Chains A and B, each alone.
Chain A
Amino acid sequence: MIELIQQYGLAYLWTDGSGFSGVAMTLWLFIVSVILGFVLSIPLAIARVSEHFWLRWPVEVYTYLFRGTPLYIQLLICYTGLYSLQVVQDTALLNQFFRDALNCTLLAFVLNTCAYTVEIFAGAIRNIPHGEIEAARAYGLHGWRMNLFVVIPAALRRALPAYSNEMILMLHATSLAFTATIADILKVARDANAETFLTFQAFGIAALLYMLLSFALVGLFRLAERRWMRFLVPTRG
């Protein structure tokens, strides 16, 4: 066990000699996919609850497809499927993009987490009390101004608990990256297992690291909820 940590400790946490690995890589995958997914999901969530059929419908199909199939298949499609297309290989830009395993992985993760996040935010928008929208109208806000100043802040705050759940699921989902040869925590654990045959210890360390990251994330979201959802806590006296 001690030897395992001595030999692979650095790889589990920071670098395997040829680049980032372990916790650093897992966090990088997590942060990039979550931030891009968040940015994309806000306009899509607004489109999802739109009254116009042609705005609402494509988003509905997108979330249906990505929430109804396993992330592993989406990753495989991005990683091996798309590159087999002649068009992708012939277009210089696409070729360059899809040849890098990290790009493919991030693409799959972003599309996946974005689909779930859109539904969470869309649900929160639908649940905004009607009075808040009426108040915004009464103050003369319309269109994108109302969305930006009233709808989005109100929805994001209310979506926090569900969104924090999705964040934790996304953190856990990043462990799939090793199937695309990305050196995340699980890949280091697999390499350590193959080398030393200390199966339980090698994967146990990985499990422990993921557990610590999950607990840290839960703690952060608890702080965030205390700050941004305070107005929903019933007051006494």
Chain B
Amino acid sequence: MNELLNLQGFGPLLAQGAWMTIKLAFLALVLSLTLGLVAAGAKLSSHKLLRIPATLYTTLIRSVPDLVLILLIFYSLQLWLNDLTEMLGWNYFEIDPFTAGVITLGFIYGAYFTENFRGAMLSVPVGQLEAATAYGLSRWQRFRLVMFPQLMRFALPGLGNNWLVLLKSTALVSIIGLADLVKAAQNAGKTTNDPLYFLILAGLVYLLITTLSNRIFKRLERRYNVGIKGVAR
């Protein structure tokens, strides 16, 4: 049993990699959800100055492959930072790949979540918001108590899909040198001369996470659909 968990001595390395993947995916998710909600609000705003940049953001980001954006942003981020620190006379500092990875993935998937939330916001009946205003709720209360719970019901299926896409695209960060699950599997495969075994293992870990996520999203959907007739339970 011990031998099995040890995975030819690469157990700890793979576990570290898996933990890195989960951390990265989760932080990027938090960032992109926040960005998505804000940008969706901006896209539906009546002010041109908010609407145009948000529209540009979603259109441009979604028409370019995530891998291209990852390389573009990751390599340019450091260069821009260098220019900035030089201009301000600060000390040179290197952005670590993990932070860059979170920012990059969060920024990219923020665009996908924006479209997701925008559609959901449009599905909430206007009367609900008018009623909230009539009851004297403030803007924030209106969003938190009336808009958000109803928006989630429409947004959840898309959110689940986007989360899975985001999770799977974390595999790409190994290309920019982050020690994630894929990188660990590749290293272990190279050392032991048995790449197939470790790659399949990494695939199974992803499969486990996606399967668990599906379960959680099913449960969330049931929760946010409480009181709605005609939805499969």
Contacts and interface: CB of A to CB of B under 8 A. Distances in A.
Contacts of B16: none
A18 interface: no
B39 interface: no
A69 B63 contact: no
B199 A77 contact: yes
| Candidate in B67, B79, B169, B174 with the most chain A CB atoms within 10 angstroms | B67
Given A77-B199, A81-B195, A193 B68 contact: no
A193 B60 CA distance: 22
A96 interface: no
B171 A73 contact: yes
Interface stretch (B70-78, B129-137, B148-156, B221-229): B70-78
A222 B189 CA distance: 45
Given A71-B168, A199-B75, A203-B76, A76 B199 contact: yes
Contacts of B206: 68-70, 73
A68 B210 contact: yes
A175 B65 contact: yes
A70 B175 CA distance: 13
Interface in B175-217: 175, 182, 185-186, 189, 193-196, 199-200, 202-203, 206-207, 210-211
A215 B175 CA distance: 27
Overall SS of chain A's interface: helix
A210 B175 contact: no
A34 B118 CA distance: 30
Which residue among B66, B171, B185 has the maximum number of chain A CB atoms within 10 Å of its CB?
B171
A175 B67 contact: yes
A186 to B, nearest CB: 6
A152 to B, nearest CB: 26
A200 B199 contact: no
B40 interface: no
B196 A81 contact: yes
B159 interface: no
A133 interface: no
A89 interface: no
Contacts of B189: 80-81, 84
Interface of B: 60, 63-69, 71-72, 75-76, 79, 168-172, 174-175, 182, 185-186, 189, 193-196, 199-200, 202-203, 206-207, 210-211
Given A68-B211, A199-B76, A200-B72, 6 more contacts: A69-B203, A175-B67, A186-B68, A199-B75, A203-B71, A211-B60
Interface of A: 64-65, 68-74, 76-77, 80-82, 84-85, 171-176, 179, 186, 189-190, 193, 199-200, 203-204, 206-207, 210-211, 214-215
Q: Please list the 3 inter-chain residue pairs (A to B) with the smallest Cβ-Cβ separation, ordered nearest first.
A: A172-B65, A70-B171, A81-B196
